[in-house]
Amino acid sequence: MGNNVIKQAVQFKANAAKEAAGKLAAMNAQQKNNTLAAMAEALRQNIKEILFHNEIDVQAAKDAQITPTLIDRLTLNEKRVADIIAGIKNVILLQDPVGTVAEETTPSLDIDVKKIRVPLGVIAMIYEARPNVTVDAATLCLKAGNAVILKGGSEALNTNRILAKIIYEAGIKTGMPENAIQFIDTADRSAVQELLHLDNYIDLLIPRGSEEFVNFVKKNATVPVLSHGKGLCHTYIDKDADIEQAINIAVNAKCQRPSVCNAMETLLIHKDIAEKILPRLCEIYDKENVEIKGCEISRNIVNAIKPAKEEDWTTEYLDLEVSIKVANSLEEAIAHINKYGSKHSEAIVTNDKTAADKFVVEVDAAAVFVNASTRLHDGSVFGLGCEIGISTQKLHARGTMGIKELTTTKYVVKGNGTIRK
């Protein structure tokens, strides 16, 4: 298709989504939950078909020599599909935010003022590699009463297409308004360009992908953007940390799934504990095939550590690589995190409550963890069912975003023939 045809098609879908949004906003909680349950069951019944289409995408990615990190994000298996289904079921259990009272005041005039939660309207998701986002986004948007426009990456086109088809057809059968879920079924980049400027139809755009891609969207969009930022996450092991606990957390944060945004990229260790912990930790990292780069002090402790460059402190590896720095103090560790971090997820391991409290207050991040792995920054772990992204911005949402973050508020004012004098 030519660019003009694609642009017209995208506009048509956006307009259809806007019309559907009004009807979706009128659905009650039970109606929405019935639709979500039907979607979950439809996915369960079609696991083999989903995996068949996913294998086509994965093989094409391998043939194109896409990085193992991206292939991992792209790949579905029975467990990952089961996790997607479990996410839908968890969202069903959540309270519907639409219509709930956020604030209520009774000023001196004879009026009652309530601020209630309402859907945003139409949300556009532009994302790379991870096909689970197709279902997570549609699920959360529906629960919050929003229509959604889905634009996945070309590498997952077959998988995203079948997922969108399955959940849309299941939703229609249970009374979901037509066009409430729109899938942009093309790999052409002009579709993305068009979405960025449809502020007459789209109320919020959420990009998920590489730092370069997200920055491009933020720079070029006229639609309001809430970005899922990069995850340059740190773990700081304080001098008063429990060594066994610190090792377990540092290994989990780096190795459990290194290709995701809440994986640790830089490990900071207080100088007073470095000689006790570094040799053991590096031995485990070596067994896990982690490439270790470090500062001069760390290399004096473990000779096998490669020298870290300045760029390592600013790199989101998304792979089995880690940079290590020995810090002279808690204050130095906090300064390093605030200088190089992406404001995503940061952790401290310590038994010193004063140090933990200082870290929590002074570290600028969407989520701060005390004696816990950064890998826990996730919607399902936080009890949000699943997530539509993790915002590193401060307006209008920060951190993992669930259904509440997909609503806004309106004032409802009731009087008794009240006028202003």
Q: 343: which 2 tokens?
A: 């404001």
As a dihedral over the C-alpha atoms of residue 102, residue 222, residue 214, residue 310, rounded to 10 degrees, the angle is: -100
Domains of the chain: 3-227+393-414 (3.40.605.10), 233-376 (3.40.309.10)
Q: What span, in angstroms and rounded, lies between the C-alpha atoms of 221 and 216? A: 8
- How far is C-alpha 408 from the chain's CA centre? 19
Distance, in Å, from the CA atom of 83 to the CA atom of 77, rounded to the nearest integer, reads: 10
How many whole angstroms separate alpha carbon 312 and alpha carbon 63?
Answer: 29
What tokens does 79 get? 């467990």
Residue 326: beta bridge partners?
269
Helices of type H across 174-321: 190-195, 211-220, 243-255, 271-287, 296-301
Q: With a cut of 70, which residues of the chain have pLDDT below it? A: 1-2
Percent helix, percent strand, percent coil in the chain, to nearest 5 = 45, 20, 35
74: tokens are 């792209």
291 touches 322 (CB < 8 A) = yes
Alpha-carbon gap, residue 189 to 185, rounded angstroms? 11
